[in-house]
Each structure stands twice: as C-alpha cells, then as structure tokens.
Amino acid sequence: MIRPAPPLLVPPLLAPPLLSWSAASRRDLPWRRTRDPWAVLVSELMLQQTQVSRVVPLFEHFVRCFPTPAACARAAVSDVVRAWHGLGYNRRAVSLHRAATAVVERHDGRLPSELDALLGLPGVGAYTARAVLAFAFGRDVGVVDTNAGRVLARITGRRLGARQAQELATSLVPPGRGWAWNQAVLDLGATVCTRRAPRCGECPLSSLCGWRAGGLQEPDPAQGSAGSGSRQASFVGSDRQGRGRLVDALCRGPVPVDEVALVAGWPDDPARARRVRASIVADGLAVEADGVLTLP
C-alpha cells in the first residue's frame, strides 16, 4: 500500500518580511522598468541559462532593434540572430522570431494574456508563460524557475514535484501582488538562498525556513526538486562551444562546408563537425546551399 505524502507545511505570514526585504534590496534591472509584454518575453528568453550581467546590455540593444513582435517578425532570422549574438544558446533567437511571427498571425501582433495561448507560442514553456502573466499583466500566478524552486523546497523542508511546486507558488502570492512577490522570490533565490553556501543570516525568511529549522541536514531538499534543474555540463570542449564558434563565424559571413571543422575548433574531428553542422541547420540557425553555410 502506497502511503500518501504528508501535507505541505508552509509557515504563515511569509509575505510581510519578504516584501519588506525586497522593497529595500530589489535589483534594478531594465526589464523590471517595463510592463510591455513583448519586452518581458524577450528578457525571459534571454535569461534562460544565461547570467543577468550578460543579458542587461544585449536586452536593451535587442528591444531597440525589435521593439514589437511585428518588427521582429518582419526581420530576417539572420538579423535576429545577429542581434542576439553574445548570449549563446542561439536557438532561442530562432524561437523568439517564430514566437513573434505566431503573435502577428494569431493575435494581431499583441502578446496574449491567457496561459494556454502563451503556451502555444514557439519556445514558450510553463515558466516563461507565467512570467509574462505575472510581470507584464500583473497576474497572481507563481513563477517557478531554478531560484524560486530552491526557495520553495527549503521553506517547506521537502523535495517538491513540478505540480506541487507550481500549486504552492501560486497559493503563496498575496492578492494583487503578483509582480512584486515573484520578483522578491526570484531575487531571494538568486542572491541569498543560493545553491551553494546560502546566506541564512541575511535571509528575511530564515526563522520560517523548514530546512533551517531541521538543522540544514543533508540532503538539501532543493536537490532534485522541481525547477532546481541539474548541473550544467562543462562548456569548454562541448558541442555547444563548437556550435557557438560556428554561429559566431556565420554572423560575420558565409562559411564553406569544408571549413566547418576548422571554424568549430575541431580540425581533426570532421565527424563531430558534421554532427554540429547538421544540428544548427536542423535548429534553423543556418541554411546550406552549394557547399556553403549562411545564416537563414
């Protein structure tokens, strides 16, 4: 017989100390100065697996180049990829162009304000859709990424499944405070309740934290919990590094197919170069014709 998991025990009155802390320490980031749904979507896709410090200057440049979904949809994919250059994970640029096109075709050029419609856009997943709802439309929905998932697991003192984490995150949002609450939770996870060496002495929720009350015993409940993700493989020497080199070169001009191995950094491994070449073509980052690769 399978015993049901015990109910989540969430301490009351989390909102006052966390919102007070956030009001005094909230990070000033350019995407937090706008409620434009398109700009919020751009920022959220840029921030996936990318450090905030790298995103800030490129975000501002990108929204100047493509201030609306229609402007992005009208542009060539190659122009969008070039504007994205420097962020890595260039496939996200292609997804953003496809999302912009879908917004124009399905929603008259305006980001939809309903969850299902947002989830129907290319490249928009559960986190991104809810982030747009909270940060652009002010909806009282929980936003669960790596940082928020870590905070939730530690506060409850339990590893959380995806559905548990999402339901809990939404239930904790104070009515009418979706924007402020989620920004506070994300900042707490990013700057205080960090994966390594959490600074519990600086945490406004330390007296309410289930993990701390249990003596910070291992395993950390955030390990393997929803949203916490897994440790990223090393970039150096990876296929991602070769893809990045190849896309960087394509941003400067066409690359002959017989030079791909050299450009990708693997002159002695042509089989690997062929695999990477095929992957960027399949992802829509390049087209191949007459023995030459170019941006689409």
Measured distance CA(52)–CA(147) in Å, rounded: 13
Q: Beta partners for 289?
A: 292
Say if strands 287-289 and 255-256 run parallel, antiparallel, or are unpaired.
unpaired
CB 211 within 8 A of CB 157: yes
Distance (Å) of CA 194 to CA 183, 199, 202: 15, 8, 12
- Using DSSP's 3-state secondary structure scheme, residue 144 falls into coil
44 counts as catalytic: yes
Catalytic residue among 44, 167, 202, 259: 44
Measured distance CA(153)–CA(180) in Å, rounded: 20
Cα-Cα-Cα-Cα torsion 210, 211, 217, 218, nearest 10 degrees, comes to 130
Q: How many CA atoms lie within 13 A of 105 on its CB side?
A: 11
Task: Show which residues are catalytic.
Answer: 44
